[in-house]
Structures are given as C-alpha cells and as structure tokens.
Amino acid sequence: MPTIDYLLIGHVTADLIPGGRVLGGTVSYAAPIVKAFNHRLGMLTSAAASEPLIDPLREYADVSVRLASATTTFENIYREGGRTQYVHSLAEPLSYDAIPNGWLDAPLVHLAPLVNEVDPTIASRFPDATVLLTPQGYMRQWGDDGKVNFKFWLDQDMLRAVDILVCSRQDIADAPELEYKFGDYVDHVIVTNGDQGGMYYHDGIAEPYAAYPVVETDPTGAGDVFAAALLSSMLFFDRDLRAAIKVAARLAAISVTRMGANPAFTDEDIQSALNSARMG
C-alpha cells in the first residue's frame, strides 16, 4: 500500500431506501472532503465481496476492505416525532492488525465507528499522530429485531488516547451530561448543533462557535463532513483548532446544500473556507 497522510477507519454502509440501497457511513461522507484538501487518504473498512457501493470511494481514497459475508446495512424509518433506525446486517470488526503496514505512520487518524466495529485499543497505537474520534457508533445498541437504541458510552482508556472528539447534541440527547464528561479525558471536544453552531471545550473553557448560514437541502452527513474538514484543515493553521472549526462549520454548511454521500467540493470551496478562517 502507498504511503498516506490521513487514515480513516470505519464501516461503509448500505442505507435502505424505497426501491434500493445507497452508500452511507461516516467514512463515505468524509472521503470527498479529505481528498478536497489534497490529503493522501487511506480507508480501512469492511463489506461484502464485490460490494458495488464502495466503487465511488476509490476516486478519493486507497481502500482496504476486510471481506465480510454482508455489508453493514441500516434502515431509517421517519415518522412524526422522530426517526427509528434498524441494523439489518453487520460487516466484520476492524482491528489494528487489519491496517496495511504502509499506513501505520499516518499523521492524521480518524476513527469513525458506526456499529461498535472499531477496536477501541486502536486509538492508543498512534502516539505520534493526531487522533480524532467521532464516537456515535459506540453509543448504539440493538436487539434481535435490529432496532437501534442509545447506549451510554464513556470508555476512559480510549478517550485518554484521543486528541479530538467530535459529536453532535443529537448523538448524546439521551445523556446530555456526556457533553461535559468527555472533556475530563479528551483535550479537544467539539459538540455540534446543526444550524445553531456548537461548542468547543478546551482547558476547562467552553467557547461557542457560529454556524455558517445556508438554505438546507439534505442535512445527512453534515457532522461527518465537519469532523473530516476539521482534521483535514488543522495543519493549515499550525493546529489552531479555533481556525479549523471555522473551516469545518463552513464546509459542513455547504454540504447540506448538496445531495448525497459524495458532495463535490471545489478548490474554490476549500480556498474560500481557508481564507475566511485566516481573516478571523
């Protein structure tokens, strides 16, 4: 495998829709934005053999697939009052041993579990990298019927090995105290809140940030784009997270004006976001 500078770990998903299935998953939404920053992206995932949904991702990343009997498959049913989510099948777990040798020196590591598939000990295996976690996949549980429910998650050992945690208020709606508890173990915590902006927690200080105003078309994946843009852009600002948050908020907003898991980000999108953050 060729050398990379951004390692992305998590399941791609097949999301069931009327009449078919579409590509989903944090890694799928993150890949185009990482590529737009000209990072050399390596993606470790798991899916069924010859899964066609993976093919579009090869435009953005070197993809290493742990073959499984099925691709992780979700179904979302929307009714008045909210969403009910079901897991219909699971791909294989992802461990440190599954990472190609040529990818182990990546300076940026993004752990993106959806169904508890990423071995938590991976976080401690990259002491020289900046490790970002989007933890939503550790906060899901389901029974034999596949119906997804919230699971309280606060793995202190893993959190201490993480440099940046990004989650949404929606992710932790059933345990809002996690917004403050995460900061006991992680140096940088960002909690997003859609068009309300969000909060950045660091050194015991909570700093609000503003959302970038847009007209929303498709909000799916905005948090995934935010996290990937944050990690992708921080090196442009000598790891200044406040500047990177501005970039991430702007690009996440742009993503909700475009449909699908692979929104096209132009060089102009990236440069405008970077220049705006530089100007403060």
Residue 261 has what pLDDT? 47
Burial class (CB in 10 A: 0-12, 13-18, 19+), 58: exposed
Structure confidence at residue 58 as a pLDDT band (50, 70, 90): very high
Q: Does residue 200 have a pLDDT over 80?
A: yes
Confidence of residue 256 (pLDDT cuts 50, 70, 90): low
C-beta separation of 227 from 30 below 8 A:
yes
Pairing of strands 82-89, 73-79: antiparallel
Element (H, E) at 247: helix 241-255
For the chain, the 3-state helix, strand and coil shares in percent, each to the nearest 5, are 35, 30, 40
Distance in angstroms (rounded) separating the CA atoms of residues 69 and 31:
24
Rounded Cα distance, 28 and 237, in Å:
25
Alpha carbons 250 and 269: distance in angstroms, whole number: 9
The amino acid occupying position 122 is: I
pLDDT tens per residue across span 222-251? 889 999 999 999 999 988 999 999 999 989
The domains found in the chain, sorted by start residue, are 6-278 (3.40.1190.20)
Q: Is the pLDDT of residue 72 over 80?
A: yes
246: its two tokens: 């501005």
pTM for this entry: 0.93
Task: Work out the mean pLDDT of the chain and round it to a whole number.
Answer: 91
Q: Is 76 exposed, middle or buried (0-12, 13-18, 19+ CB in 10 A)?
A: middle
Contact 225, 257 (CB under 8 A): no
Chain-centroid distance of CA 107 in Å reads 17
Instruction: Name the token pair of 251.
Output: 């690009």
Question: Which residues face 202 on adjacent strands?
Answer: 205
- Residue 168 · residue 191 · CB < 8 Å: yes
Residue range 149-179, pLDDT digits in tens = 999 999 999 999 999 999 999 999 999 999 9
Q: For the chain, what is the radius of gyration of the CA atoms?
A: 17
Q: DSSP letter string over 189-246?
A: EEEE-GGG-EEEEETTEEEEEPPPP---S--TTHHHHHHHHHHHHGGGGTT-HHHHHH
Q: Is 235 exposed, middle or buried (0-12, 13-18, 19+ CB in 10 A)?
A: middle
Burial (0-12, 13-18, 19+ Cβ within 10 Å), 107: middle
* N-term to C-term CA, the chain: 39
Pairing verdict, β 148-150 and 164-168? unpaired
% the chain with pLDDT above 70: 91
89-120 residue pLDDT tens = 999 999 999 999 999 999 999 999 999 999 99
Categorize the per-residue pLDDT at 19 as very low, low, confident or very high, splitting at 50, 70 and 90: confident
